[in-house]
Amino acid sequence: MYLGGEIGFGQGSGTVLSVDTELTIVPLEMNLKYVFDLSKNFKLDLGGGLSYTFAEGKVVSTLITGEKQKDGAWGGQSFLNLNFTFNHFLIGANFKYQATGEILSNANLNNYRAGIQIGYMF
């Protein structure tokens, strides 16, 4: 069993109800996971944890420029990692679902994520 933390950063822009907006999010996570040996070189991690997501949004339309809104919300996540290990190296894929409470006037920041990882184990 492993206990660890993560910090992320995401930034994007788009149009909401015909208004151009920018959004920055920073999720902070504390996770607990269990690792299963599928074979000598394949490992499956299952886990979850609690998170706090900081968000900052701003209207950036040419006609209206709004003040930055800052907010934060508690949430949680669950995840699955599949890793191939050899010697001290690993390469793998990860999948995560994160649920976040109300943030920035009811914005829904619940999300799915997928990624790859390459690492060295000490």
Residue 65: per-residue pLDDT? 66
Which domains are delineated in the chain?
A: 2-120 (2.40.160.20)
Indicate whether this model's pTM tops 0.85: no
Beta-bridged to residue 108, according to DSSP, are none
Residue 88: per-residue pLDDT? 93
Taking only the tens place, the pLDDT of each residue in 58-83 is 887 766 667 788 999 999 999 999 99
* CB distance 42 to 11 below 8 Å: no
Distance CA 72, CA 52 (A): 7
State the residue for tokens 């902070």: 28
Taking only the tens place, the pLDDT of each residue in 4-38 is 999 999 998 887 777 788 889 999 999 999 999 99
Instruction: Extract the tokens encoding 22.
Output: 């920018």
